[in-house]
Amino acid sequence: MELLRQLTETGHDVRVVPTESALAFVGAATWSALSGAPVSASTWDEVHQVPHVRIGQGADLVVVAPATADLLARAAHGLADDLLTNTLLTARCPVVLAPAMHTEMWEHPATQANVALLRSRGVLVVEPAVGRLTGADSGKGRLPDPEELARLCRSVLARGGLVPDLAGRRVLVSAGGTREHLDPVRYLGNRSSGKQGHALARAASARGAEVVLVTAAGLPDVAGARVVRVTSALELRAAVLAEAAGCDAVVMAAAVADYRPAHRLTTKRKKTEQLTVELVQNPDVLAELVAARHDGQVLVGFAAETGDEDGDVLAHGRAKLARKGCDLLVVNEVGEPGHPTGFEGDVNAATVLGADGTVTAVPLGSKDALADAVWDLVRLRLPVR
């Protein structure tokens, strides 16, 4: 119901097509009241309107949440024994299936074969989340957060029905600002919210990629991504280096602290009139990725810059691109709170510099739009399979 609310409140006209089993949990009257449209699981209601054909034909997006193991099997093999599976057969728009089941059912070879078959046909099957299941069980198989699932659906709609062009690719995204603890209470940090990194992970998931998100941000898990939570620069480095070798692309959107305290106290530091903290430099994770990259891997860095007496934002960006050796560098101007781009806000603008000399300006817009622009440039650089 939360997914329905998220979609209707953002202006979408939603028709609910439940299965008979779904109606055992929430009745047709409730779905109808919430969606403002008639609800039925049968192909025999309102026959004069031919609903088993018309609903799929008229849809801009079909999303099934939760998608059970049984539904995945029926969809994969073209069965059409109720209104929902008829709708899936007649739909020519993007289809998003969000599985939810016990871990053993998700991992069963039959389910995995059905998922692979659906994905080969261009269906976006979202990876389930990890967490509490029914009863006392926990594991992979939980329905993703409804708000994040709605964001993913809106990302698919925004792409205008294009095929999942990152299907079969494995990508890694880092996000958020790291925290370097002085003691159990205080830390050195920055203003990065992680929103741009999470938008990049969401966009990649919406385009069919297998996504690993290494994040220091306190944001909800991105639907379809495997999320690795970290705090410090050293934790982020360890997680990224552990995952990067198996990835087709790595996008380092995290704002990694340049320095950390040389000594972290185990008890709270007492207040004094003067405080001196010795700092040591953190490793350059992007430089390590460049040194260890495999053939065909695309590496993307981010540079949050301000102009100064030594040059403007782009001058600093070009110098950083040459120094880092990555394929693409996303350069955006940041400033004090209230600055239209950069940290904390919901919009961004950037210039993407390529090692091949290309310069791509991305105008002010949503962070989701910038994320898609970055993946467009990454996709052009990925080896053809």
User: Each residue of 138-152: pLDDT tens digit?
Assistant: 899 999 999 999 999
- Rounded Cα distance, 207 and 150, in Å: 15
Given the residues 86, 190, 282, 348, the one annotated as active site: 190
Percentage of residues of the chain with pLDDT beyond 70: 95
Average pLDDT value for residue range 165-171: 95
Domains of the chain, earliest start first: 2-158 (3.40.50.1950), 170-381 (3.40.50.10300)
**What global pTM score does this model have?**
0.90
Query: pLDDT category, 167, cuts 50, 70, 90?
Result: very high
Residue 118: per-residue pLDDT: 97
190 is a catalytic site residue: yes
If DSSP codes are grouped into helix, strand and coil, which group holds residue 96? strand
The size of the chain, in residues, is 385
Backbone CA torsion sign across 110, 116, 121, 126: positive
Average pLDDT value for residue range 336-364: 86
**In this structure, are residues 334 and 343 in contact, taking their beta carbons and an 8 Å threshold?**
yes
Strand runs (DSSP E) across 189-265, as ranges? 210-215, 225-229, 249-252, 259-261
Residue 223: per-residue pLDDT: 95
Residues linked to residue 348 through DSSP beta bridges, in sequence order? 365
Residues linked to residue 251 through DSSP beta bridges, in sequence order? 173, 300
Task: Give Dmax (Cα) for the chain.
Answer: 82
